Amino acid sequence: MLLISCPNCGSRDETEFHYGGQAHVAYPENPNELNDREWAEFLFYRDNTKGAFAERWLHSTGCRQWFNMLRDTVTYDIQAVYPMGAARPDKSAPAPESGTASTAPDSTTTGTAAPSIAATSTATSTAPASATAPEGATK
Amino acid sequence: MAKTAALTGVNGLRDIRRSPASHLAEALDAGSVRGQVVLNEGPFQTMAGVRVDPRSEGGSRIAAVTGGLPVRCGEVTGTDSISVLWLGPSEFLVVAPEAAHDSLGGTLIGSLVEALGDAPGQVVDLSANRTTFELSGPQARAVLEKGCALDLHPRSFTPGTALNTEVGNIPVVLEKTGEESFRLFPRASFADFLGRWLLDAMREYGSPEVP
């Protein structure tokens, strides 16, 4: 049983929560321009990370609020709990590398769509790096 | 047609209203162990679900009616007759005696709706949504601890707080009203299960303690 620290209610049992899948999957900017494969990838294809994984959770029998959580899929170690719309905490370093397009969304956390598009684009591009990173990051 | 005559008017409805665990009343009485732990279903309450941003203008108007809005998890505010339970950062449950309901001559729901006005949010009459179990006695905490993972020790769960949690796998609002007394608010459809679950959890205290 995981003990999850809800940002509103504090530490509670895992049974009080619902899992919301991978976080930072942005709705496509122009869904009509996607072909079937891209649309299917948006709908159904998710990372299967070994190591630190950003996911959404809902405290369904508590405050009924969504939040993001960074969890290690191997050790189940909860590394961070952060609000919806915020950038992934351990991805703050690679964001500036990808140029001006991603630094702007990072500075404005109000728009939910724009930052997460940048987050996923950097996440997919740095996916191989993140697969190896957790070992160094956790130690 | 003769039967429907009793249903005309709100007060006719009041006479035939049955609480969700009324069929358990005898069992609750028989299962209570005086001096150890006592369980009974509380009287009808007027409840209103309020969703409003507490920092907004509408929130402060609502707070003026209810005697404050709780700001953090567990907090209960209100006056001596109204208590406001924290359900979420912008979601509250207002609990008051039954007579406060507009249909019985009270003004609670109407004044809440009026206080909210056109502000973003909602006030919903939830009087029939939940029922109330009152559990009290020196063993009340031990009974709850059989099915509740929260830390119910008095040092962290103090009288006058209420938490949204699970008891016996049932989502309830658990309010601590005194040193040894609790109020549980399960949804009406869970009342039968939770009542029987609590009775089962109380059974051992009716027998002499095994050293």
Q: What's the pLDDT band for B16 if we cut at 50, 70, 90? A: confident
The tens digit of pLDDT for each residue in A98-124 reads 333 333 333 333 333 333 333 333 333
Q: Do A12 and B165 touch (CB under 8 A)?
A: yes
Contacting residues for B140 by C-beta, under 8 A, at least 6 apart:
B37, B180, B181, B182
Q: Do A9 and B169 touch (CB under 8 A)?
A: no
Distance CA B33, CA B158 (A): 24
Residue B139 has pLDDT above 60, yes or no: yes
Measured CA distances, B39 to B23, B83, B158, B201, B207 (Å): 14, 21, 20, 11, 17
ipTM of the complex: 0.83
Measured CA distances, A94 to A35, A64, A89, A98, A104 (Å): 29, 32, 11, 7, 14
Q: Which of B71, B150, B173 to mutate to test the interface with A (most CBs of A within 10 A)?
A: B150
Which residue type sits at B78?
G
Q: Which of A8, A11, A58, A60 to mutate to test the interface with B (most CBs of B within 10 A)?
A: A8
Pick the residue from chain B with its C-alpha nearest to A3: B149
Mean pLDDT of A4-25: 94
H or E, element range at B87: strand B83-88
Mean pLDDT of B34-39: 94
Residue A54 has pLDDT above 90, yes or no: yes
Q: What is the pLDDT of residue B9?
A: 53
Q: What is the pLDDT of residue A15?
A: 92
Mean pLDDT of A18-44: 94
Of A8, A10, A61, Cβ closest to residue B89: A8
Considering the entire predicted model, what is its pTM? 0.79
SS (H, E, C) chain A: CCEEEECCCEEEEHHHCEEEEECCCCCCCCHHHCCHHHHHHHHHCCCCCCCEEEEEEECCCCCCCEEEEEEECCCCCEEEEECCCCCCHHHCCCHHHHCHHHHHHHHCCCCCHHHHHHHHHHHHHCHHHHHHHHHHHHC
Query: What mean pLDDT, rounded, does chain A reach?
Result: 75
The tens digit of pLDDT for each residue in B87-125 reads 999 999 999 999 999 988 899 999 999 999 999 999 999
Q: What is the pLDDT of residue A49?
A: 93
For a pLDDT cut of 90, what percent of chain A falls above it? 62
Q: What is the pLDDT of residue A97?
A: 38
Instruction: From A64, A51, A69, A89, select the one nearest A3 (Cα to Cα).
Output: A69
3-class DSSP state of B35: coil
Q: What is the pLDDT of residue A84?
A: 93
User: Which residues on adjacent β-strands are paired with residue B51?
Assistant: B91, B122
Of A13, A15, A61, Cβ closest to residue B164: A61
Distance CA B197, CA B147 (A): 9
Q: Specify whether the CB–CB gap between B92 and B70 falls below 8 A.
A: yes
Pick the residue from chain A with its C-alpha nearest to B90: A63
Edge-first strand listing for the sheet containing B133-136? B38-41, B133-136, B181-186, B170-178, B161-167
Mean pLDDT of B135-147: 95
Write down all domains in chain B, each with its CATH number in brackets.
Answer: 20-43+131-211 (3.30.1360.120), 44-127 (3.30.70.1520)
Residue B67 has pLDDT above 70, yes or no: yes
Q: What is the least distance, in Å, from the CA of A61 to any CA of chain B?
A: 6
Mean pLDDT of B171-186: 95
Q: Do A62 and B165 touch (CB under 8 A)?
A: yes
Place of tokens 């608010």: B185
- Tokens read off for B166: 């699970």
Please tell me the least confidently modeled range out of A60-69, A128-137, B29-38, B121-130: A128-137
Query: What mean pLDDT, rounded, does chain B reach?
Result: 91
Q: Which of A1, A3, A16, A60 to mutate to test the interface with B (most CBs of B within 10 A)?
A: A16
